Every structure is written in structure tokens, then in C-alpha cells.
Structure 1
Amino acid sequence: MSVSEQSAARTRMFARVIGPFLVILTATAIFRAPQVWERASDYGTDPLLLWVAGAFTLLAGLIVVAFHPYWRGAAAILVSVTGWITAIKGFALSVFPDAGMSTANIAMHAEGWTRAAYVLFALIGLYLTYVGWAPVRNRPAPLPASGDRDLRPAA
């Protein structure tokens, strides 16, 4: 497998996970935003919860950054950028939890911009889902194993 085939396969694998994740989370955030923002202030006072959320977010972002160092093509760029944004967000939540809550408070009061961002991320998620799950065209048929070519039919 060449490097370009390997990078395309890796991009497809990450797109299969990141795409549906973005679609599901942003769609639920769009429709449940009032209930979520209403309860967000309850969680802002718990530094342990923010630290744990930041730790898992940082881990997820670093996994993408480490295993997807590809930047050729729209899907590869979106996967890599998503990984970096996730890692930075996880770092910020872990190290600066108060800043994370103030950012959430700003987002609560900017509903139009927040919903526009959700729609943008949902569209990115739909595109990545398509890239990850659509059948690959023009893929060469696998060659038989070297020993199979020399075998004659048994009957």
C-alpha cells in the first residue's frame, strides 16, 4: 500500500467516526440548546467535572493528531483540524476551566452565532460521514495470493 493509499484509508477511518459524531452531537445541540444552556451553569461550579471532561477531550484530540498527520484533500484537512481543535479545547478545559465556563456563558447569550456554528459543524459532519462510508470507486481488485495462480482445478 502506497503512502497516499494509506493516508486516504486513515482519513476514511477517522471520517467514519468523526462525521457521525459531529452530526449527532450538533443536531442534538441545535434542538436541545435551551435545556442544555439552562443547566450549564450547574456544572460550571464543579472543577473536577471540567477537568475530567477536558482530560477526555484532550485524549481524543491527541489520538487524532497522532494518528492522522495528513493535510492533503478537504476531508484530510477537516479531520486534522478537528483533531487539533479538540486537543486545544481539551487542554484549555483541563488547565483553564474558568475560561471554559466564561466561553460557554458567552455562547449561551449568542444563540444566533452558536446555532450557525452548530449548523456548520453538522454540515462538516455530513461531509465526513459521506467520505467515510461511501463506497470507494476505482479501487483495483485484489490480486490472488501468489500460490493460488499456480493451482489447477481439482476436477
Structure 2
Amino acid sequence: MTTASPEAQRRTRAFARVIGPYVATFTTIYAIRLPELQGLTGDLFDQPGLMLLLGAMMLAAGLVIIGGHRSWRGPLAVTVSLFGWFVAIRGFLLIATPATIRSGVDATMLSPVAMTAARVFFGALAALGLLLTYAGWFARRPATG
């Protein structure tokens, strides 16, 4: 299997520099504060215009990652590309099926087992964010030649 070009590797690291700290910060705070956010999610879903805007922004952000990062060579590149697709699909679903998303969120918030699983999931995403941060900012750059 051939390796990605130096330009593709630089692009992957640049995306990891942005995505990593964002994911690490957001998911850590979300995992800690998840039980407190129960009222906030209800308020959010009660405003269809805000849900439409949030979904549109997520779809746009995901499409920027998908369009700007086309490399699938190596674990870091795959992670960045999958993140772009994940964000784009979530944004699309918020626009297309907000009631379905709301019912899933409500079910998670009402179940202690699902709440614990969600907190563990967000903790795992925080660890992934830290790995992306490290790879983007601190890992040794590959030799160009």
C-alpha cells in the first residue's frame, strides 16, 4: 500500500489540529455535565428554527471536512475523514428528522443505563480527541523527500 503524499499528510495534520482540541474539550465537558443538560435539550428541540440552523451548520462543517480532506491512507487520515462524514450525517439528520433525534435524546436522558453509556461514549471520544490533538500538534512530522 502506498503512503499518502506529503501534501495529504500536511492536510490531515492540519485538520487534526482543529478537530482534536475541539472534540477533546467538548466531549469531556459534555460527559461531565450530561445530567445537567436534560432541560437544555428540551429547550433546544422546542425551537425548530434553532434546530434547523444547528443542523445546517453541522452539515456545512462536515462537508468542509469531506471536501477539504480526501485522504484515507493511515489511521489518522481515516479518523479525520470519518469525523467529517459523522458530522455531516448528524447535521442532515437534524434537518431531516428532528423528531427522531429528539426521541433518541429523550430516551437516553431518561434511562440511567443509557446515560452512563452516553457518558462513557463521550469519554472515549474525548480520548480520541486527545489522540488527534497529539497527532496534529506534537507528533513527529514524516520526512519529506
Superposed pair shares fold, TM > 0.5: yes
Q: TM-score, normalised by structure 2?
A: 0.89
Question: What letter matches 2:124 in structure 1?
Answer: L
Partner of 1:65: 66
Residue 123 of structure 1 pairs with residue 124 of structure 2: no
Letter in 2 for 1:4: S
Once the two structures are superposed, residues 13-65 of structure 1 have per-residue CA deviations (whole angstroms, 9 ceiling, x without a partner) of 00000000001101110121122123211221111111000000000000000
The CA distance in 2 between the partners of 1:14 and 1:138, in whole Å, is 16
Cα separation, 2, equivalents of 1:40 and 1:61: 22
Whole-Å separation in 2 of the counterparts to 1:89 and 1:19: 18
Task: Give the SS at the match of 2:50.
Answer: helix
State the secondary structure of the residue aligned to 2:72: coil
Runs of 4+ in 1 over 3 A off after TM superposition: 137-141
1:1-155 matches, within 5 Å, as: 4-108=5-109, 109=111, 110-137=114-141, 139=143
Select the structure of larger CA radius of gyration: 1
Higher relative contact order (CA 8 A, sep 6+): 2
TM-score by length of 1: 0.84
Q: Alignment length, in residue pairs? A: 140
Aligned equivalents of 1:107, 1:57: Cα separation in 2: 21
Q: Deviations over 1:90-145 (max 9, x none)?
A: 0010111111211211332311110111011111101100010015346359xxxx
Which one-letter code corresponds to 1:86 in the other structure? V
Q: 1:34 to 1:117 in 2, by over 3 A?
A: same
* Residue ranges of structure 2 left out of the alignment (5+ in a row): none
Q: 2:32–2:119: 8 Å Cα contact kept in structure 1?
A: no
**Counterpart of 2:137 in structure 1: which amino acid?**
W
Distance 2:144 2:92 in 1: 42
After superposition, the Cα gap between the structure-2 partners of 1:140 and 1:71, relative to the gap in structure 1 and judged at 3 Å, is: closer
Larger proportion of helix: 2
* Percent identity over paired residues: 36
The CA RMSD measured in Å over matched residues stands at: 1.8
Structure 1: runs of 5 or more not aligned: 142-155
How far apart, in 1, do the equivalents of 2:91 and 2:57 lie? 7
